[in-house]
Structure 1
Amino acid sequence: MTIQLSVSGLRHQMKYRPEIDGLRAVAVVPVILFHAGFPGVSGGYVGVDVFFVISGYLITTILIDEREKGTYSLLGFYDRRARRILPALFFVLLCTIPFAWYWIPPDAFEDYARSLAFAALFISNIHFIEHSGYFDAAAQLRPLLHTWSLAVEEQYYLLFPLVLWALGAFSRRKHLWVFLGLSGISLGIAEWGLRNYPLENFFFTPSRLWELLGGSICAAILMGRSQPRNDILALTGLAMILFCVFWYGTGVRFPSLYTLVPVVGTMLIILFAATDGWTARLLSLRPMVAIGLISYSAYLWHQPIFVLARYRSVSEPSHALMGLLILLSLALAWLTWKFVEAPFRRRAILAGRASLLTTSAVGIIALASFGFWGDVNKGVPERLDRIGSEYLSDLSAQFNEWRPQDICTEVEPVPGKLCTLHQPDNPVSRVALLGDSHAQAMLPAFAELSRTRNFTLMRGVRAACPPLLGVYLTYGRQDARECFDTMQAYVRDIDGSDIDTVFLVARWSLYASGNLAGEDAGFMISDTLGDQFQTQAGWKASFELGLDRMLSALRKADVRVILVHEVPQQRIFPENILWQAVSLGGTKTAAEARFKQSFIRRDEVDALTGYANKVLSQLAEAHGAETLSLNTVFEDEDAYVWFKDGNVLFRDTDHLTLRGALSVAPLIAETLRP
């Protein structure tokens, strides 16, 4: 039986393997469930790795076969790629624009617009590499985050035909050795990137090429041979993928050696799942094949639908709602497959190569131009003016208020050294602020007090770096090592100075137990550098050890220490709620009622911070330190608020705005000795 290969996206006559369609269903369903936030599929992201192997196998098989038959054409290859990829992609991208325009606030829209431009150019992974830092948009609020994998594949498609051209006529041994060699280099890059640039490494094409080449290796092995059957190996491969789906989590950093499990599992299925085998029969079931056929469109639709739903909700959407949105994604995927994908592949639309490539170029230019325009215009905040609400406009402006409180007086501040932020003529004391980005956000309060209370203010702040000693964050060797060294240097500075009071400020619960969504393995603490698989008990023990060492060192330096409890984390971005009020066009009263619905319950925050606050209190008592809670500023009945008396207090879920920082200044002032 021969049919057009819709799974690979290339129009080519070859023996149809329905189990490959079914395997694509195994890939896309976990990805969708993972992005929807369903429990039990913590490793659903491995579906993307399965996709990579499948793509590498199909593309390599077709290109080598065409070359051997003398029918290979580079223009023909890209014509088929464009017919498969661009129509559905452009359609989905266009559909997201009006919703993003009305529903997404300026800062997030700026990120969306830039990602739109980069997605149209098939380099969106570069955008996410450049914007994967601590303060960039959260993954669950980026409508086009999933396009990074399309970019990696398209970059592979640009390079791989050149590799095959250079290799010449097919030789199994030659091709296998080259594919294996390139895979080894790529995997080595992935391992190095994991240890030094873990956030960027995830999106980095050279770190991912070995996964696609895994499919190429399968193609070279099977080329010109009948499909072997080995049920044990094929079922083992399927079990390896499912193991990763259900047992991997955010603590397993990708890509890395751990990615070998789903990649090798996929290769075993491709190599040994013969049509009459158990695994092939399972994957060839009609529902599996049906989902596999629409998997590309389903992958395109699900992320923007989930994200836009989150922008319209005053809380995280329920599992029931996310289930309905999954059904909506699949329905739109079927419609897109039937009325967009299929007609272009059949050449019912733009049958000529020149017309297709010309239209594709126009589409790329138009989408990229709009995206860059939105990026250059900083998310087009003027969209707010269409409502004409001066009140909401004033609130929106509060997110960007700032003071130059973070300018060191030293001409050339030394990295890793405390710097002076305020130096009065006759200071009555010297105060140091140590901590992570929460300390940075609270700087306006200390800067204001340093002027009114006449003390010298020293800053020792590094984002995503807790004020602990002798322990490491588990993510990224280079970042973890720099954080470790920086805190050691700050303490040495304090020990050798006349500083008399030190405030320690951090998002303690994140480093002690996780966030509202559960454990965040990236911020686990370990006493061993690079320990990615820290147990929960070991995590807590390391957190306590690091804080104990910090307090011991500061007590030895003979300074007064005040441990500031973290401010109450919110569940939803305040700017999103404000933009909802803008887009709905309601009154001030209606807007504030919506704000109130989004406030987090006190019992949720108390449960989140309970362990960390207990450790802070116990160790403070043991070392003669003090603790300070700022929660009374944010209390309102049974909730902790992000908006109070006309003031926006949070600029995201956990960092204070300028007004939020100034609102806690009176409580900090009470701890300062005259």
Structure 2
Amino acid sequence: MKYRPEIDGLRALAVLPVIFYHAGVETMAGGFVGVDVFFVISGFLITTIIASELNSQQFSVVSFYERRARRILPALIVVLAITSILAVSIMLPFELVNYGKGLVGAVLFVSNIVLWKQAGYFAAEAEMNPLLHTWSLGVEEQYYLFFPLLLMVIWRFRRQWALPLLLLATLGSLGLAEWASTRMPSANFYLLPTRIWELMIGAMLSLWLMRRAQPQGLAAQLISLLGLVMIIVGIFAYNDQTPFPSFYALVPVLGAAAIILAATPATLVGKWLASKPLVIVGLISYSAYLWHQPLMAFARILAPDNHPDKVVMLMLALSSLVLAWLTWKFVEQPFRNKQRFGRNWIFTASLAGSALAVLLGVGLVASKGLLSQYPEKEWPIVEKTNVKFGEYVVAAHSMILARPIEEDKPVLVIVGDSFSQDFYNMISENNAFAHYQHVALFVPARCQLFYGKPYVEIEHHIAEGDRAMCAHRILSSQQVETIRKADVVVFASKWQSWSAAIMGESLAAMAIPEHIQVMVLGTKQFEKNRRVLLSEFRRADIPSIRRMDADILEINRTLKQSVKGYGFIDIAASFCSNGCPLFTTDGSPISYDGAHLTEAGARVIGNYLFTHPPLQQYGSASDAAMAAHSN
């Protein structure tokens, strides 16, 4: 295959936006599309090599995977080794457990599946995952498990069917991605079936150019320029709310294909991409991709608010390029030399390195992230993952979700998102509303609580990727009928400014009978950085508090004004009047993520709420007095 320097330049155009996106450069909010450009390049180059060798009857499956091993594994294992040393030195046990799972996933090329089971790519906690970026390696290597074999079969029986079959698979995968982008966004982002089409666009382009010449003259200039514009549009116009991959992904993907198709040394775009600086970045792009995320993740982990200074992040972006050059020079290049390292050596070394990584990953999970290295009294802070804490938040609430109403008991209806789950845990931990039947109605935080306004008037407030889902998950008239059958109804949500401002209108639109007591809980906030919690815990002589952010206080003021005439409970202004405590008196953290309550937190804050108006009458003490009086 003839070397095309402009493709190395295109690699630079792919990797730099990804790096700056992860560095938090706001103008490159769509920098993640660089990965899609990589997929097109990979599909094109690998298909060209395979098809050429099939045509000359020189293709070997063993040789193919040897090339993949030489290309992928040496740099990956070196980066994982150094990242693991840093992880063990820096991360807390609950983080190390997730790191261990990610490490196993990375070397087995299934990290996209591991990450799918954890947080979404655009979630805040994902930014602190040093191995977040390895999902794309998983997608590629899973693709190359079957694609060479598929081409071999097609070449043997019906070579002329190659393009139609790939086109059919591409359209099917793209259609699935568009459908899943709003219904299963995390699976859609990470998993192979909705990514195949991007690699196959490159594959089809390869087969096309094996039969036809590249465009020339004005056509080449226009096509390559259009391709560049399409990639730039994706980088600067998309963001984490763009459903992705979907039809939106066609813009950068077809842009990359257009550049590969038409950018030649005779075109302006081809000359620019073939310039020495871009070619150098393109040559080191794989190592740069490997290095950038661990550096930035550790910086976020160590920053007190998980948001390092922008200058620091830009310096880390540049540092990743320096490390990439060193890795390319002293790791990638030597291991591609077949005279220096033979096939058996490559396979043996790769297997040994991967096995060690798997053992370390399994060991980190089995040891609960080296938990025994910490005093037992610190375990409540450092042990549980957010997922484990989250299971507690959801568990009790799930038992009363949409429960049918019985006629023989007074009814408490709790309406809202995960903050309503928190409130129900306060009830459960304090045996409040003991003589009531409990019913829960759930509305996701992404959709917000509102009622009585047409969805088309509201949906602009909702993230674009959530709008289709929220159209079916907002508070419904059927749920409002349940609310109207209650004796007490409590609304609790992670309010946004807009939903807080119209909550009074929403309550009026529900036409709740006057005999029903209506209460609205304000939003809340605690310390979310567990390193800060651990540091404060170790300063036992100093009371630890967390001041509420001004925007949280403002949302609660807006909500209080909006629901005037209804009961309003402001946790921030009551329980946290002098700052929110970080721990209970026995040293247990009140919140695990800055928003949701631990079991101890639910017990303590619930105890406060149910011993003070307006909830005092529903506390366990009042219920006991009521029961005694009735006897």
TM-score range, shorter chain: 0.7 to 0.9
Match of 1:332 in 2: 323
515, 523, 532: which is aligned to 1:577?
A: 532
Counterpart of 1:191 in 2: which secondary structure?
Answer: helix
Opposite residue 509 of structure 2, the aligned amino acid is: S
Cα separation, partners in 2 of 1:54 and 1:402, compared to 1, 3 Å: closer
Question: Alpha-carbon deviations, 1:254-292, whole Å to 9, x = none?
Answer: 110000000011011000101121001111111111111
Match of 2:284 in 1: 294
Question: Alpha-carbon deviations, 1:476-495, whole Å to 9, x = none?
Answer: 5785366337x655433332
115, 120, 136: which is aligned to 1:128?
A: 115
Cα separation, partners in 2 of 1:145 and 1:284, compared to 1, 3 Å: same
Tell me the percent identity: 35
Counterparts of 1:58-97 in structure 2, within 5 Å, are 58-97=45-84
Please say which of residues 325-334 and 549-558 is displaced more in the overlay.
Answer: 549-558
Confirm or deny that 1:276 pairs with 2:263.
no
Counterpart of 1:250 in 2: which secondary structure?
Answer: coil
Cα separation, partners in 2 of 1:550 and 1:59, compared to 1, 3 Å: farther
Match of 1:32 in 2: 19
Confirm or deny that 1:245 pairs with 2:200.
no
Counterpart of 1:138 in 2: which secondary structure?
Answer: helix
Match of 1:443 in 2: 424
Counterpart of 1:195 in 2: which secondary structure?
Answer: coil
Q: Offset at 1:95?
A: 1.2
Any stretches of 5+ residues in structure 2 without a counterpart? 618-631
512, 518, 527: which is aligned to 1:555?
A: 512
Q: Offset at 1:169?
A: 6.5
Cα separation, partners in 2 of 1:408 and 1:332, compared to 1, 3 Å: closer
Q: Offset at 1:120?
A: 0.9
Whether contact under 8 Å (1:34, 1:45) holds in the other structure is yes
Q: Offset at 1:198?
A: 1.3
Match of 2:539 in 1: 589
Counterpart of 2:491 in 1: which secondary structure?
Answer: strand
Whether contact under 8 Å (2:584, 2:604) holds in the other structure is no
In structure 1, how many angstroms separate the alpha carbons of the residues matched to 2:119 and 2:384?
A: 25
Counterpart of 1:255 in 2: which secondary structure?
Answer: coil
Match of 1:483 in 2: 473
Question: Alpha-carbon deviations, 1:424-460, whole Å to 9, x = none?
Answer: xx98x64332221122123332224444876554433
Cα separation, partners in 2 of 1:145 and 1:41, compared to 1, 3 Å: same
Match of 2:627 in 1: none
Q: Offset at 1:177?
A: 1.8
Question: Alpha-carbon deviations, 1:171-205, whole Å to 9, x = none?
Answer: 99633222211110110111121132112110010
Whether contact under 8 Å (2:444, 2:473) holds in the other structure is no
Match of 2:629 in 1: none
- Give TM-score scaled by structure 2 length: 0.85
Match of 1:625 in 2: 566
Cα separation, partners in 2 of 1:343 and 1:547, compared to 1, 3 Å: farther
Match of 2:615 in 1: 672
Match of 1:506 in 2: 493
Q: Offset at 1:141?
A: 1.4
Question: Alpha-carbon deviations, 1:330-369, whole Å to 9, x = none?
Answer: 1111111111111101136532x22322332232232223
In structure 1, how many angstroms separate the alpha carbons of the residues matched to 2:380 and 2:142?
A: 44
In structure 2, how many angstroms separate the alpha carbons of the residues matched to 1:51 and 1:135?
A: 19
What count of residue pairs does the alignment treat as equivalent? 599
Cα separation, partners in 2 of 1:403 and 1:347, compared to 1, 3 Å: closer
Counterpart of 2:412 in 1: which secondary structure?
Answer: strand
Whether contact under 8 Å (2:609, 2:616) holds in the other structure is no
Match of 1:146 in 2: 133
Counterpart of 1:504 in 2: which secondary structure?
Answer: strand
Whether contact under 8 Å (2:403, 2:439) holds in the other structure is no
Counterpart of 2:520 in 1: which secondary structure?
Answer: strand
Q: Offset at 1:110?
A: 1.6
**CA RMSD, Structure 1 to Structure 2 (Å):** 3.5
Opposite residue 322 of structure 1, the aligned amino acid is: M
Any stretches of 5+ residues in structure 1 without a counterpart? 1-13, 513-539
Cα separation, partners in 2 of 1:98 and 1:158, compared to 1, 3 Å: same
Cα separation, partners in 2 of 1:591 and 1:320, compared to 1, 3 Å: farther
Match of 1:200 in 2: 187
Q: Offset at 1:80?
A: 0.4
Counterpart of 2:441 in 1: which secondary structure?
Answer: strand
Q: Offset at 1:49?
A: 0.4
34, 44, 54: which is aligned to 2:41?
A: 54
In structure 1, how many angstroms separate the alpha carbons of the residues matched to 2:122 and 2:209?
A: 47
Please say which of residues 556-565 and 243-252 is displaced more in the overlay.
Answer: 556-565
- Give TM-score scaled by structure 1 length: 0.80
Counterpart of 1:432 in 2: which secondary structure?
Answer: strand
Match of 2:200 in 1: 213
Confirm or deny that 1:651 pairs with 2:592.
yes
Cα separation, partners in 2 of 1:445 and 1:408, compared to 1, 3 Å: closer
Opposite residue 567 of structure 1, the aligned amino acid is: K
431, 435, 441: which is aligned to 2:412?
A: 431
Match of 1:565 in 2: 522
In structure 1, how many angstroms separate the alpha carbons of the residues matched to 2:291 and 2:389?
A: 36
